[in-house]
Amino acid sequence: MYEIEIHNLCKNFGKTPALDNLNLVVKKNEFYGLIGPDGAGKTTLMRIITSLLLPDSGYLKVAGLDPGKDYRELRLKLGYMPGKFALYQDLSIEENLTFFATVFGTTVKENYNLIKSIYSQIEPFKNRRAGKLSGGMKQKLALSCALVHKPEILILDEPTTGVDAVSRREFWEMLNEIKSHGITIVVSTPYLEEAALCDNIALMNKGKIISSGSPEEISSTFPEDLFIVETKYIPQTLKVLRQFPNLINVNSFGHSLHLVLKKNTVQTKEIVDFIENKGISNIKVKKGKPEIEDSFIYFSSSNL
């Protein structure tokens, strides 16, 4: 039994397709990530799951319910954190939390153990207005508010966007703790490196899921050879490698370059020779395991 089940889902805004024939399943108590850039359709998909939007066509079941018909019942089981920390800026931390608890027919006390680890971090500032909080604190408050009624499914739309790196790492730890309470979590993010922290992910681009599965599965389904080129002269080497015969793609990844070539056609030695012939020395080339970003770049260009 799946917690979320989606088949052939389509949604258009006017003539622009926002979601194009989407298929997706999320198991109970799974930590599921929707990964993709802005405009990939992540928010639209989440709004359809939360019953805030209706799909044009396709099959959709969330917690065994149809978001089109049974939205009232379904909405009780959902915790939802929209994209831009939807909090009341003029209310204090405590007032925000109490308000959402009341509206969902519960009290802060009742589910305090669920939010304790998160809320205790901001509780010392509970009389501060939400508008005056830092990004990390807003994020923690928004998460507490979404959790306060003990939802079955927690849906988080880009919770880490606009938050510093330290808070982001803390946030993912918090999500793992929430998962231990038996809650299913669906989270969207534009940061590809966060994908590895999820149980299963779907890579999304332009309204389509271009690949899905666990992060390891996605890496292992990478169909071509990936070479990691280490050099001091990144821009020059990148320029040289763009002329490599039968190149699929090459991208810079911080201090190295990732070169994708047709499987089993080229040896590392050939790459070293090719670069050195162009006058760049002192380079290291080795075969590498593809990261999520490699998969994303590969699948989004091969899907066009």
Partner 1 sequence: MNRFTGFLKKEFLHIFRDLRTMMILFLIPVLLVLIFGFVIKNEIKDAKIAILDLSRDNASKSISSRLSASEDIIVTEYLSSYSQIEEQFQKNLVKAIVIFENNFAENLVRENKANVQIILDASDPNTASLLNSYVSVIINNFISEKFSLNKTIPLEIEPRMWFNEEQSSSYMYVPGTMALILMVITALMSSVSIVREKEMGTMEILLISPLKPYQIVLGKLAPYAVLSVINAVSIILVGYFIFNIPILGSWFTLILVNFIFITMALSLGLLISTLTNRQETAMFISVFVLLLPTMLLSGFIFPLENMPNFLQYLSYIVPAKYYLNAIKSIMLKGQGILYSWKEISVLIGMTILLIGLSIKKFKIRLE
Neighbours of 231 (CB within 10 A): 21
Among 54, 110, 116, 302, contact with partner 1 (rule: CB under 8 A): 54
Among 57, 59, 69, 103, contact with partner 1 (rule: CB under 8 A): 103
Q: Counting contacts by CB under 8 A, is residue 152 touching partner 1?
A: no
Among 87, 183, 248, 285, contact with partner 1 (rule: CB under 8 A): 87
Please, which residues have CB within 8 angstroms of residue 224's CB and are 6 or more apart in sequence?
248, 260, 261, 262, 263, 298
Q: Nearest approach, Cβ of 52 to partner 1 (angstroms)?
A: 5
Q: Nearest approach, Cβ of 117 to partner 1 (angstroms)?
A: 22
Q: Which neighbouring-strand residues pair with 184?
A: 153
Q: Nearest approach, Cβ of 115 to partner 1 (angstroms)?
A: 16
Q: Counting contacts by CB under 8 A, is residue 76 touching partner 1?
A: yes
Q: Counting contacts by CB under 8 A, is residue 52 touching partner 1?
A: yes
Ramachandran region, residue 83 (left: φ > 0; alpha: ψ -120 to 50; beta: rest): alpha
Neighbours of 192 (CB within 10 A): 19
Alpha-carbon distance of 109 to 278, in angstroms, equals 69
Q: How many residues bind partner 1 (CB under 8 A)?
A: 32
- Of the two residues 82 and 215, which places its CB atom closer to partner 1 in the complex? 82
Task: Sort 139 into a burial class: Cβ within 10 Å, 0-12 / 13-18 / 19+.
Answer: buried
Alpha-carbon distance of 218 to 222, in angstroms, equals 7
- Of the two residues 158 and 294, which places its CB atom closer to partner 1 in the complex? 158
Alpha-carbon distance of 141 to 226, in angstroms, equals 42
3-state SS, residue 243: coil
Question: 187 to each of 30, 40, 74, 92, 129, how far by Cα in Å?
Answer: 11, 14, 18, 26, 26
3-state SS, residue 34: strand
Among 8, 89, 265, 267, contact with partner 1 (rule: CB under 8 A): 89
- Of the two residues 154 and 201, which places its CB atom closer to partner 1 in the complex? 154
Q: Counting contacts by CB under 8 A, is residue 99 touching partner 1?
A: yes
Q: Which amino acid is at 71?
A: Y
Q: Counting contacts by CB under 8 A, is residue 189 touching partner 1?
A: no
- Of the two residues 44 and 295, which places its CB atom closer to partner 1 in the complex? 44
Alpha-carbon distance of 20 to 8, in angstroms, equals 8
Four-residue CA torsion sign, 10, 188, 63, 154: negative
Q: What is the CA radius of gyration of the chain?
A: 22
- Of the two residues 105 and 245, which places its CB atom closer to partner 1 in the complex? 105
**Near partner 1 by CB under 8 A, which window of 67-75, 111-119, 169-177, 186-194?**
67-75
**Touching partner 1, residues 254-293 (CB under 8 A):** none
Q: Counting contacts by CB under 8 A, is residue 42 touching partner 1?
A: no
Q: Nearest approach, Cβ of 145 to partner 1 (angstroms)?
A: 8
**Near partner 1 by CB under 8 A, which window of 57-65, 81-89, 183-191, 274-282?**
81-89
Mark residues 1-40: x for contact with partner 1 by CB under 8 A, - for none.
----------------------------------------
Query: What's the token pair of residue 299?
Result: 């699948």
How far is residue 284 CA from its own chain's centroid?
32
Q: Counting contacts by CB under 8 A, is residue 50 touching partner 1?
A: yes
Residues near partner 1, by CB under 8 A: 47, 50-54, 71-72, 75-76, 78, 80, 82-91, 95, 98-100, 102-105, 145-146
